[in-house]
Each structure stands twice: as C-alpha cells, then as structure tokens.
C-alpha cells in the first residue's frame, strides 16, 4: 500500500482486487458490453459492463485510494453522480445545501428533486448557526461545496461533520474544485465525496465523468445498486481517459495552483477589478479554515470587474485563455457564470450571492503564467 499521493495517482494502493493478466503498463480498455461465463453458476466476476468492467474497476480503485474511501463508483457525468446520491433519499426527506452551488445541482434540486418530494434549504454552510436554524426532524443530509462554485466560499468540514454526526445526518461533500490531491473530506468526517471527474481529475477537457466515493460499506452498496439499476455508468474508454489524466494530477495541480496564486495577486492590483475571490489570498474570509483542512487553494479564481462592458471585453478579447464553460483542464478557461453555469438559478438568489453580470470565473491552466497575465492585461485595455 502506498502512502504517497503521487504514487496513488498512478497505481492506487497497489493492492487491486483483480490482477490484469498481461501486465500491460497502460491498463487495457475492455471495450465489451458482456462477458462469457465459465460454466453454469460460474463467472469470472464480470458479467455485464453496466454492472462491472475491468477498466472502470481499475479506475474506481485508484479513486478509492486517493480519497481514502471504502469504495468508489464511476458515473457517466458529475451530474449523474449527484443524481445517484439524491436517489438515496425518499419523498419527504429534507436536505440542507450550501447556498452557493454549481448551477446544475441547483437546477436538479428545483426540478427533479422537488418532483420526487425532496425538501431542500439553501444556507451559508460556513455558518453553523445557519445550518442549525433550518434543521428539522426530516433532515437527512448536509450537502457542501468547499470552495464553492463560483463564489469560493469555504465551509469548515470538521465542524459540519460533528454537527452531522450529532443529528444523524449524511455529510456529502463535492470535492471537484480541490481534487483529492489537495483535500480529503472523508478524513474530515464526510460520508460521501462527489467529483465531476471531467474537471481536474481528467484534466484535459476531453471527456465527461463523475465519481461517488463512499466512506462506509452500507452506503457503497446502495450507490452501486443505484448505478446498476439506473445505468449511468462510465464507459470503458472514458474510464481509461480519466485514468490517464489522473496519472498527472499531482504535477498539474501544483503548477496550476502556483499560476493561480500569482494571477490572483495580480488581479487584486488592477483598477478595473473590484474584488477577487480566491481561497489562497490571506484577505479571503475563509483563508484560515481552508488552510487548516486543505493542502492548498487550488486553481479556481472568481473576480468582479467594474462594469458589464469590462466583463464583455475580457471574455471576447482573451486569446491565450479560452472563453468556455467547464474548468480544471490544462487549458485556461474563463467563464461567465450568470449566463453559462448558473442561468437556472433565480435572479434574486444569484444577486444575493454576488453572481452578477460583472462576475467572471477563471480556471487557471498550465500555460506560462506571464503569458496568462499578459493576455488578461491586454483584454482589460483592448
């Protein structure tokens, strides 16, 4: 078993439950829908890819090692992973969610969640009193993003885990922004960790995937049953792409985080920037908590500019940075949350959080930091 995350990114815990017989250095893509049986009542352990596939299993074992989980299930997208977790609950159950969430999760809650009878309160999960205020007998779970998308709000995971344990709640944490390289919520008390693996884990903007990492055997069995039943599993080829991406997670996160820190500090000095949201800045209100529970601040920055005209100019004039949705890849991407990631969040709610027509979100990639800064500089003045 490896103790170093760099090794786990490549080999997991070195104790895989199924040994690839050819010893291929690059794990094979088992591109098959079904598997033959040895005899009546005798199986290789693989029957049908929707339920289990060697390539996907290998990837899941690596994520289990990285997150310190009991088990991991890979899904066809981050939203498929979130949906599977929501399927753990019954009509009439109540959940408390971070108020600043990826807009797709908010949309899921306000549409399918409500249709299925799930009751949800959105609060600032960085304030324990706010969580306690909305607790009810029907409350079953606490759903947290930290840092949150896109306002980079920080939640104290250990404190929330204590509260969740006291009230017999499941604690669910989306760890997409920091990845297991920088933060491990299960070690801080989380029961479930969700990833949009399309982002930093895959890291190359070339596939869509999601993970649910379960801390306990009972939860893992429920998630696997949901995946088997609803069929949102990750394909063998996409499993291989994510596996390939994770091999470089450690080195990518180090460089992207270094670039992000330099850009965040530069942005704080620009006249057309009113506010910078980055957990690695000492001026960030969640700086100390993030430093306590994570090994870094990651590569995601949001910043508020002085006018709609400036926002539009930056989006349209960047050249090294790409104006696009998504995040976490080798290429730097700049996003307009109000229009791209959070349009389904009610206007009053967006404005309360600060998701306005002057907010931009930047996913910092691996380009040379001087060229990224020069690109932003020329976009500000073009």
Q: Which residue bears the tokens 């971070």?
A: 98
Determine the Cα–Cα distance for residues 21 and 164; give it in Å rounded to an integer: 44
CB 91 within 8 A of CB 77: no
* Burial class of residue 63 (count of CB atoms within 10 Å of its CB; 0-12, 13-18, 19+): buried
Catalytic residue numbers?
Answer: 50, 102, 174, 199
Determine the Cα–Cα distance for residues 232 and 303; give it in Å rounded to an integer: 35
Widest Cα–Cα separation across the chain: 74
Q: Which residues pair with 172 in a beta bridge?
A: 143, 192
Determine the Cα–Cα distance for residues 242 and 210; give it in Å rounded to an integer: 10
- Tokens at 191, concatenated: 């029961």
Q: Can you say whether the dihedral through the CA atoms of 347, 144, 214, 181 is positive or negative? A: positive
Pairing state between β 322-323 and 300-305? unpaired
CB 189 within 8 A of CB 157: yes
Determine the Cα–Cα distance for residues 210 and 82; give it in Å rounded to an integer: 8
The kind and range of the H/E element at 379 are helix 369-381
Give which of 165, 175, 168 is closest to 140, Cα–Cα: 168
Determine the Cα–Cα distance for residues 197 and 152; give it in Å rounded to an integer: 19
């Amino acid at each position: 078993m490896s103790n170093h995350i760099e090794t786990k990114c490549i080999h997991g815990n070195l104790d895989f439950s199924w040994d690839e017989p050819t010893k291929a250095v690059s794990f094979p893509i088992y591109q098959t829908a079904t598997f033959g049986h040895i005899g009546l009542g005798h199986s290789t352990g693989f029957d049908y890819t929707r339920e289990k596939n060697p390539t996907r299993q290998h990837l899941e074992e690596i994520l289990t090692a990285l997150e310190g989980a009991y088990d991991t299930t890979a899904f066809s997208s981050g939203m498929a992973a979130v949906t599977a977790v929501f399927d753990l609950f019954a009509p009439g159950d109540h959940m408390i969610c971070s108020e600043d969430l990826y807009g797709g999760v908010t949309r899921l809650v306000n549409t399918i969640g409500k249709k299925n009878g799930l009751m949800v309160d959105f609060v600032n999960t960085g304030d324990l009193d706010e969580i306690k205020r909305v607790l009810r007998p029907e409350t079953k779970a606490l759903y947290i993003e930290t840092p949150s998308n896109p306002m980079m709000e920080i939640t104290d995971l250990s404190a929330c885990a204590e509260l969740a344990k006291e009230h017999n709640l499941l604690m669910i944490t989306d760890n997409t922004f920091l990845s297991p390289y920088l933060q491990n919520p299960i070690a801080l008390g989380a029961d479930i960790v969700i990833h949009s693996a399309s982002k930093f884990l895959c890291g190359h903007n070339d596939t869509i995937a999601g993970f649910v990492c379960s801390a306990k055997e009972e939860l893992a069995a429920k998630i696997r049953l949901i995946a088997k039943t609803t069929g949102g599993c990750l394909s063998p080829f996409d499993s291989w792409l994510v596996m390939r991406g994770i091999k470089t997670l450690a080195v990518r996160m180090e460089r992207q985080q270094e670039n992000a820190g330099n850009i965040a500090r530069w942005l704080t000095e620009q006249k057309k920037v009113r506010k910078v949201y980055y957990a690695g800045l000492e001026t960030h209100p969640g700086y100390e908590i993030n430093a306590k529970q994570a090994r870094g601040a990651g590569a995601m920055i949001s910043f508020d500019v002085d006018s709609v005209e400036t926002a539009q100019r930056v989006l349209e004039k960047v050249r090294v940075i790409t104006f696009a949705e998504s995040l976490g890849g080798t290429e730097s991407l700049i996003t307009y949350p109000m229009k791209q990631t959070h349009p389904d969040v009610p206007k009053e709610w967006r404005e309360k959080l600060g998701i306005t027509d002057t907010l931009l979100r930047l996913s910092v990639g691996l380009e040379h930091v001087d060229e990224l800064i020069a690109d932003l500089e020329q976009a500000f003045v073009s």
